[in-house]
Structure 1
C-alpha cells in the first residue's frame, strides 16, 4: 500500500527541527565514533548496482551497505554509543569525562556501578551492550517473546544481563521503563515517549554518520529518491533531517517502507500524528516489527517524508535473495530481513506504472537505498535466502577482487 503525505514540505529545513537534529552535532558525533575501536574506521561502502538498475528501468541504483559497519553487523552501532556517551556527560558533569576516553574505557572504575537498560528487537540492544562493555558500565537488555535465541546470545556475548518478557516489542519497552524506575537504572532507548526525548534524539543524531558518508562518497551526484526503513522512525528521521538540511528545497523525494503488519508510520501518516499499528507486529523483518511510532521521530517524518508504503514479508525475502545473488556488474550483498525494505518497496512500486508515476520514478531516476544490517541472525538468514552469509561473502570477496 502507498499513500502520499499531504504535509510533506519542500521549504528550507525548519529552525525548530534544526534545534533538535542538525549537521553540526552529527559531525561531532561522527568524530567521537571515530575513536571507538568496535567500528570500521573506513566507514561503509556505497555500491552502485547497474544491472539491477537496468532491470528495474531506472538510471542509477546505489546502496549503502551497513553490514560492514562493525562486528555488530548493523547501523545501530552508530546510535547507541553516542546516546550512552552523551547521557554520561549529562549525568556526571562534575567528572572530567571526555567522549574519546569514555569509548576507550578510561573511566571504567568510576562507572562500574552505573547501569543502563533498554528493550530491543536485537540490533539496538546488541549495540548498547557493546558500548556499555567498552565504557565499563553495566547493561540490562529486555527481550520480548519474538526475539530469537540467536539474537539473545549475540547480545549476551557483550556481557549484558538478559530479561525475557512475554508479548511484543511494546511490552518490552514498558518492562524496561518499569525496571529502570525500580532499580534507578537509566533507559537508553531508540524510541521516545512523553518526557523522554533526549536519548532518542542522540541515537538519531548518531545515524547522521551514514548520511555524511553518503554525501562524501556520492560526490556531486544528486539522488532523486531515497528509500528509508520504518520501525519506530529513528533511522528515517536521522537521515531525512540530514538530507533536508543539506539540500534544502532541492532535497530528494523520500519514501518510508515498513511491514504491512507493523505499519505504525503509515498509520501515523493517515492520522496526522504519531500513532500505532493496527496489525499483529509479527514480521520476518524483525528490526521493523514495531507497533508504535516514536513521537520525536514523527516531528521530522511528518513533513520530510513524501510517501509512506507497506510491503509483505515475502517481498523482503525476495529482495534478500536478489541482493545475495549479485551479477556480473552488481556486487553480491548480505542484507538482512530489515535491510531490504527499501529495495522491496521500490520493486513493488515499479510493478505498477501508476504507482511509479505517483512517486515520480522513471528512467531518469537516481535511487538511494540503505542496507541497514547484514546477517545479524545467521540461521534465519540461511533459512530465508537458501545460502549461508559466509557463502555470499565469499562470492562478494571474489567479485571485489575481480573488479
Structure 2
C-alpha cells in the first residue's frame, strides 16, 4: 500500500492549501482595506460631532472666565472613545487647559476649531480655541477586527473543499484506479468501462485492455500462423482430458510434420516458407470443428486435438486424417511457381493409446515417425524430452 502522504487526496490538499492560504490572506487584506475606509469615514463624522458638541459646551464657561468648569469639560472629553488629548485656549485667562497625553498626532488626527460665544442678540464673541487629538485609525486594528470572521470563512471553505475533493477524487479517480489495479494484479482485462468515468481514465482503461489482449494473444498464439501455441495447447489438452474422463468419451491427438519443407526454405527463402506454414495452418483450421484445436508446436510441426462425440470417433478421426493429408498436398501458388508439401501424421486415441497428455503425445509422435518411415523415439521417453527437443527444420 502506498504511503498516505502520497495518496491523490493528500497530494491534492497539499498542493491546494498554499493557493487557499494565499486566497485567504488576499481576502483578509482586501476586507481590512475596505473596512479601514469605512472606519475612517465613520471616525471623521464622529470627530466632527465631538468637536462641535464640546466646542458648544465650552463656549459659555470660557465666556464667563470659569476655568474650573472648562477644565472639567476638557477632562470629560477624554472619556470619549478614540480621544487622546484635549487642549483649550482660554482667552479670558490667557492660558491653556491641557488634558490627556501630549502627542504629535498627524494633522489628519488633530482637529481644531475656534470657539465663539453667541449672545442673546446673536452676536458672536471669540473665547478661545479647541484642539482635540484623536487615536489614528490603524490598518492593523482594522485587519484584526475582520480576521476572526475571515478565519471562520476560510476554515469552512477549506473543509468544504477537502470534503468535496475527497468525494470527487474517489469517484472520478479513486474507484477507476482501484478497478484498474485489480485488473493489473490479476493480469486480466477490465471487462466494462462505466459511462461516468472521465474521458482520460476511459482512454487509459481502453488502452490497457488493448495491450492486455495483445499480450495475451502473443502469449497464447503463434505470431506467424495465428494458431494456438504450446502454452495454450497444453492447457486446452488438459481441460479436454478432464472433460472426456468425466463423460467417458474419446479424445484424439494428431501430430503432423511437413515433408519436403526444408528444401522450400533453402531454395526460395524464408518468405516462401512462411507462406507455406500460413497456408497449411489455414487449411488445418478450416477442416476441424470450432470445438477442436489446431496448434503449432514449432518449426513445421502441428498438432490437432479432437474431442470424440456420440458416434464412433475413431472412424471420424481416421477419415479426417485422410482429408488432412489430401488438403495439405494441394499446391500453393507462389511467384516462383507452385509450392507443394506433404504431411506425415500420427494419431493417438484416449484411452486406448494413453490416459495422460504425455502418453498421448508420445504415442502420436511415434505414429508420425512410423508414417514418415524414419526411426522412432525410444519407448518410454516423454515427448517433451525427446520429440519436442529434437532439431526442428523450418521457421520459428
**TM-score (norm. length: structure 1):** 0.17
- Tell me which protein shows more strand as a share of its residues: 2
- Tell me which protein shows more helix as a share of its residues: 2
Higher relative contact order (CA 8 A, sep 6+): 1
